[in-house]
Structure 1
Amino acid sequence: MTNHLPSRLARPCHLVSLLAAVFPCLAMADAALTLDSVVVTGSRIEHNSFDLPAAVDVVDAARIGADQARVNVSEALASVPGITVQNRQNYAQDLQISSRGFGARSAFGVRGIRLVSDGIPASMPDGQGQAATFNLDRAERIEVMRGPMSAIYGNHAGGVIQMFTPDGKGAPSVEGSFSAGSYGTWKSDISAQGEVGGVGYVIDASRFATDGYREHSAAERDQTMAKLTFRPSQDGKLTLIANTFRQDAQDPQGLAWDEFKGNPRGVGFESNPAIGPTNIYPALTYNTRKSIDHTQGGISYEHRFGDHSVLVSAYAGQRTTTQYQSIPISTQKFSVKQSGGVVDFDRDFAGLAGRWTGRFGLAGGRLTTTVGFDYEQATDDRQGYENFVGSGSPANCTANLCGLMGKLRRNEQDRVSSFDQYAQAEWQGERWTFSGGLRHSRVAFKVDDRYFDGANGDDSGSVTYEKTTPTVAAMFRVTDALNVYASVARGFEAPTFNEMFYSSGGGSFNFSLKPATSTHYEIGAKAMLGNSRLDIALFEVKTQDELVVLSSSGGRTAYQNAGKTERQGVELALDSRWSEGLSSRLAYTYLNAYYDESFRFTSAPPNPATKTVSAGSRLPGVAAHNLFGEIAWKHKPSGFHAAVEGIVRDKVYVEDTNQRQAAPGYAVANLRFGVDRKYGPLSLRGFLRFDNIFDRQYVGSVIVGDSNGRFYESAPGRTWLAGVSARYTF
């Protein structure tokens, strides 16, 4: 079906051409705008983003903190093309982040995208990550890369998101901030930074709480970080960083379509004969919720030897998670092994990485080579319990016997490790740049089953996935203001433990899952047009053995391998400065993601059925069109600024057959105001923000493949947020 690309991309390409022609004509020639950010993602060394043959965007500190609470990375990444970040209004399940459609199937957490924070992976060795651990209060920038070059980062397929915090420098300063808004939401933050005796430091602590937009969606979060930097010699740099993250959050779960239309702020209603004749609200009856306690720390040392450098880093951490799910009592007691309705695990994780970078003169140009390795491992001490305490009929849940940890139903140790080696090289001449890379990945899973009650077998086992992925790219400098490039790579995406936990019947481990492999093609252009910068990328991704949702119910999701899929699309970003203080940004994504061949599957209980997914069906959780636009103005003498934002998103299918009600498309507008003033050593800032100013009711995100038909997670109507901050420099 690759011949669909020209016709299906025709309309987006016309739009791109029109925008490219119109915006430069409107730009003011006497305004200055920084349009070429320095990035390290992709090449692993400092590189101008304009000269990198890849789709990469930088979200700087100004946009991360653009009159926002700085709680969710969705606030910062809404303006990045190719990336879809959904705030689910459900802190128990984290954000939904997808890159070119990869990761959209994830029931919770981030899948298919490599997450890194200050050099420490926020993704586990199996590929599952949590963006909630990003500390946005101290973030200096977030680099987002999509496409073929991201394959050099290993076991994932969609892209790389890296967050960086600044080093402590200059005179010491302290800063405090407070914000509050709709639905009992508030956040406080205090920080300090500076340099004393040659040691730079950044310290931050924050607390966030909300009653939640939906019923049973309250959350509390505490977050801290500390970063120390020290130069033991002129050519050496030592960095130490530590983070903690603690969160308690209720889980409102999804809604059926009629429930969303009737009461978008409520929780789902269920009448299930398996647990008795009493009608129940699963989220309330089972008191669905999740608690997380996460601590990690890392150390890195970089030393330069003239044009060469060596970097060695290590990290370690611990994560404790307890999650209460709405698994019906009858299905918590199958003869096969079950997790029960309560998941409880303690995870220890650690990693070690090293790389050497050399720079040489070659054939009239500059050759940069990098050779390195990454080793990561995680061990879970995992138990599962019934979400029920008592005896007799499971209907006793109505007597406050559910929502409590009951009998042990699962006990095991889960271990996963990855060991990757990679090599990259880039030759940069006067007009041509050629780059390539090779990475060998090995991901090993091992399960030690420790639960035996005579009614189930031994689920112990192991499986290993191994793949070598190449990357090749070329860029040509047409003029000083125009670069064109092309790249191709192979991608590798192994199943995560979360995708292996349940087989089709909801029971034992699914060791039969295969890794998804993909081939990525991309061509693009980067142009400086007066005081505007235009980035455009056209891509195609062909995937085999795509991992898809087989069933999802009550917090338990089973997966399977489908056949071939294809993703074709266009990404466009346009930044402009119209006059002094007036700027705009436009980000557009067209994505045609579909199954390239038919496949059949039998869904799991409670509604088992054999279904056929036809070739040409769209991948669920993926919108065909996404548009972000912003116009911002700042009056420098007074420090006053204002901006209006618009977000438009196409409809989203909720399951593979595309036969259930799709989440409709929507358009929302946001408005924000603020003022920044400085009085000697004291800097003050205040802001007021209104989101969804026209009070639209819409589905903000979907739960792909939910077996009970509760696919929809509603977004709030009109909301407000106000905040103040003060910084004093000594």
Structure 2
Amino acid sequence: MKAEHRAVPAAPKGPVVAPRKTANTDHALPRAKRLAALLRLGVPGALAGFACLAGAQQGAPTDAEAVALNPVVVTGAPTATESFELPYSVDSVDLRANQAGNLGVNASEALAGVPGLVIQNRQNYAQDLQISVRGFGARAAFGVRGVKLIADGIPATNPDGQGQAATFNLDTAERIEVMRGPFATVYGNHAGGVIQLFSRKGEGDPRVRASVLGGSWGTTKFGIGAEGEKNGVGFVLDASRFDTDGYRDHSKTRRDQGFAKLTLNPDEDSTLTLVANGLRQPETEDPLGLTWDRYQLDPRSVEPEALAYNTRKSIHHLQGGATYERRFGEDRLELTAYTGRRSVTQYQSIPFDVQGSPRHAGGVIDFDRDFYGMGARWIDHSDLAGGRLTVTAGLDYDRSEDDRRGYENFIALVPAGQLLGVKGMQRRDEINTVTSLAPYAQLTFAQGPWQWSAGVRHTKVRFKVEDHYIVTGNPDDSGRLEYSRTTPTLGVTYALSEATNLYASLGTGFETPTLGEIAYQTPQSGFNFGLQPSRSKQAEIGIKTFVTDNTRVNLALFSIRTKNEIVVADSLGGRTSYMNATETSREGVEIAAESELARDWSARAALTWMTAEYDEGFETRSRGNVTQIPAGNRIPGIPALTAYAELAWKPLAGLELAGEALYRGKVYVNDLNDKPRAPAYTLFNLRLSAEQRQGPWTFGQLLRVDNVFDRKHVGSVVVGDSNGRYYEPGPERSVYAGVSASYRF
């Protein structure tokens, strides 16, 4: 890992964070003191301390250690680059090793130890995981927003910024990369962070496999698959069925997934990859959140509305794509195209008596979405002024079209009464189209101990609404709007030694409203075409160092300022409208460490401390009441402190016993900060995995115990729920076991 052989990243000086006043004296330290302490103790102390450690090091890690502690990543970089070299925070989680001790159902199983990332299993498969990166995405009540999701080069995030992590197939995944910081803005709209999944490539002798597992809360999962290479064609095939009754009442689900990947080489200079995957999730029960009183009484229960309206969701998702890569010596051309269809029907618990207005869209959401896109990029390498220059230029185009309908969630009976939780009269009929066009460029220049990087992207997002539901009292709400912004980013890495890098980066980003956020100008009126994107500035400085040959430590300090933050304007009658109201700030520190302690012991740990608050006050409404949100209030949904630690023991080849500890700090649930916070908690998990090989056969077993000490806790929160159903309880002690077998031909 010689400095003169490096081949990547990026530009300028680290952030200068100016202390600012806070109007909320209830919080532990005024921001001026917090930042002063952070900058005084964190930056000089950490840099000086690691510099001293670097001076005592024996050298860079061996090749074997570098594979584990310094993985090659592609997220944010023009070409595959060692994570150690990059001027931003990026983690690569090896799922080939991780899968042995996990269920392979939710990405939260594998990503709990990534600093800066809060990923929570809601225990509600109707609403997907709750994911935020340095606070981006914390407000999402369903799905994922503010974080870009990508799987095998195909966006799992729509052009409007709403994404679905449930489409990730973990059974075939090779690794997941998680990127934080300014360089995430290279990915455009809603890229407060990037989570990118890469599936395995079909290699080696063909083999077939089967697996079965079961455990607490009526959980079962069956899977079959095949992979390998035959006559120059690599293939990976997988199908699985997951069933659970759910920890909570009314949370049963079935999830069927399928995946196929083919890798071909038309000639010695090109590669063609074909990918297809599908998700079928019929009649998934939605337990909703709980009020604080009901959570205290019985965390497994549901509110009466969930049962009365039989809240539920059905999802059918199918997509496919192709990537063609052609090499011209060191240079490369990459072309990607994809298409798919997603159908969703959701029954909500909106009270029937508030649906009287002809402008109300009803309590049943029903849409069919067709989506497609394409991308092209050229990567050029050249020598310049004694250094190495890499330039990438590309263009992304994405489009989605929703045939969206709304219905009442009841049928009026004669002579009196209502039948609830059924599809009633139609109340909405429209075509929603979102397109995104984004040219971009990146360059990196490596010379001696310095590596410079820069990127720029110009994103144009267009929304078009064609309203076909025009009746008396409900006029034509058709319209269109366009958002565009150029987002540059810069970074620099300096090699203090072979084993220690200092870096800094700076960038700007923006988030357009999602379709759901522009859907209502007020709870009873048309589309909110006046809502503007939020704009952010991010800065990060940090150090990456190999403290010893087999121990790596990363430290990052970040500062994020956002203008025109999208917040709730009004909530009434089961509908929420949004506005641009305020400025926010998020500042914090991330520390991650990973070590091969001995031949058969390894450990890793991560810690994130962050303050996230409103810098300006604003007004919001709920049920017609005006509320003043004061400056200095904490942004809900973001814990101030998160931590993770893991210790693994591998006494024999193919046998691993590991313990995990996860801490989440208290979480505010609403903007006013006046409701009970979700309490802090610490969970301990154990996992045991084993593998035996006998000729062409390979057998595997797993045993997993989550929440070993049976800790009562709130696993996630529904931010700002107008009904006060903020709390989503996590499960009690849970035990799972599974076996697998594969045969190699």
**TM-score surpassing 0.5?**
yes
Specify which of 267, 280, 290 is matched with residue 302 of structure 2: 267
Specify which of 143, 147, 152 is matched with residue 109 of structure 1: 143
> Which residue of structure 1 lines up, in the alignment, with residue 691 of structure 2?
676
Whose RCO is larger (CA < 8 A, sep 6+)? 2
Specify which of 160, 170, 183 is matched with residue 217 of structure 2: 183
When the two structures are aligned, how many residues end up with a matched partner?
Answer: 709
Q: Secondary structure at the match of 1:563?
A: strand
User: Do structure 1's residue 46 and structure 2's residue 63 form an aligned pair?
Assistant: no
> Which residue of structure 1 lines up, in the alignment, with residue 106 of structure 2?
72
Separation in 2 of the partners of 1:257 and 1:63?
39
Distance 1:521 1:28, change over 3 A: closer
Separation in 1 of the partners of 2:351 and 2:326?
57
> Which residue of structure 1 lines up, in the alignment, with residue 371 of structure 2?
349
User: Do structure 1's residue 171 and structure 2's residue 193 form an aligned pair?
Assistant: no
Q: How does 1:352-371 map to 2 (within 5 A)?
A: 352-371=374-393
Instruction: Note if contact 2:570-2:621 (Cα within 8 Å) is conserved in structure 1.
Output: no
> Which residue of structure 2 lines up, in the alignment, with residue 118 of structure 1?
152
User: Do structure 1's residue 539 and structure 2's residue 567 form an aligned pair?
Assistant: no
Superposed CA RMSD: 2.2
> Which residue of structure 1 lines up, in the alignment, with residue 345 of structure 2?
322
Instruction: Note if contact 1:320-1:346 (Cα within 8 Å) is conserved in structure 2.
Output: yes
Instruction: Note if contact 1:384-1:408 (Cα within 8 Å) is conserved in structure 2.
Output: yes
Q: What amino acid maps onto 1:358 in structure 2?
A: D
Q: Secondary structure at the match of 1:534?
A: strand
Cα distance, 1:66 vs structure 2: 4.3
Deviations 1:523-562, CA, capped at 9 Å, x for gaps: 0110011111111110000000011234567975432222
User: Do structure 1's residue 332 and structure 2's residue 347 form an aligned pair?
Assistant: no
Distance 1:11 1:478, change over 3 A: closer
Distance 1:678 1:14, change over 3 A: farther
TM-score by length of 2: 0.92
Cα distance, 1:68 vs structure 2: 1.1
Separation in 1 of the partners of 2:579 and 2:663?
32
Instruction: Note if contact 1:553-1:706 (Cα within 8 Å) is conserved in structure 2.
Output: no
Q: How does 1:253-264 map to 2 (within 5 A)?
A: 253-264=288-299
Q: How does 1:160-239 map to 2 (within 5 A)?
A: 160-239=194-273
Q: How does 1:437-586 map to 2 (within 5 A)?
A: 437-530=455-548, 531-550=550-569, 556-586=575-605
Q: Secondary structure at the match of 1:546?
A: strand
Which runs of 5 or more residues in structure 1 are unaligned?
A: 269-280
Cα distance, 1:23 vs structure 2: 11
Q: How does 1:640-719 map to 2 (within 5 A)?
A: 640-719=655-734
User: Do structure 1's residue 252 and structure 2's residue 287 form an aligned pair?
Assistant: yes
> Which residue of structure 2 lines up, in the alignment, with residue 727 of structure 1?
742
Instruction: Note if contact 1:107-1:557 (Cα within 8 Å) is conserved in structure 2.
Output: no
Q: Secondary structure at the match of 2:145?
A: coil
Instruction: Note if contact 2:446-2:452 (Cα within 8 Å) is conserved in structure 1.
Output: yes
Separation in 1 of the partners of 2:534 and 2:369?
26
Instruction: Note if contact 1:112-1:493 (Cα within 8 Å) is conserved in structure 2.
Output: yes
* Identity across the alignment (%): 50
> Which residue of structure 2 lines up, in the alignment, with residue 286 of structure 1?
309
Cα distance, 1:14 vs structure 2: 5.9
Instruction: Note if contact 1:413-1:448 (Cα within 8 Å) is conserved in structure 2.
Output: yes
Separation in 1 of the partners of 2:658 and 2:367?
44
Q: What amino acid maps onto 1:494 in structure 2?
A: T
Separation in 2 of the partners of 1:209 and 1:28?
50
Separation in 2 of the partners of 1:621 and 1:64?
28
> Which residue of structure 2 lines up, in the alignment, with residue 276 of structure 1?
none
Deviations 1:378-436, CA, capped at 9 Å, x for gaps: 00001000000233588x34xxx111100000000000000000010000112000000
Instruction: Note if contact 1:600-1:611 (Cα within 8 Å) is conserved in structure 2.
Output: yes
Separation in 2 of the partners of 1:295 and 1:247?
12
Cα distance, 1:592 vs structure 2: 0.6
Separation in 1 of the partners of 2:574 and 2:215?
29
Q: What amino acid maps onto 2:625 in structure 1?
A: A
Specify which of 3, 8, 26 is matched with residue 34 of structure 2: 8
Deviations 1:25-79, CA, capped at 9 Å, x for gaps: 9999999632110001011311011001110000102454141111111111101
Distance 1:30 1:475, change over 3 A: closer
Q: What amino acid maps onto 2:712 in structure 1?
A: Q
Q: What amino acid maps onto 1:538 in structure 2?
A: L
Distance 1:719 1:557, change over 3 A: farther
Deviations 1:129-175, CA, capped at 9 Å, x for gaps: 00000000010000000010010011014111100012111110111
Separation in 2 of the partners of 1:135 and 1:563?
38
Q: Secondary structure at the match of 1:260?
A: helix
Separation in 2 of the partners of 1:100 and 1:462?
32
Cα distance, 1:640 vs structure 2: 2.3
Cα distance, 1:12 vs structure 2: 10
Specify which of 631, 639, 646 is matched with residue 630 of structure 1: 646
TM-score by length of 1: 0.94
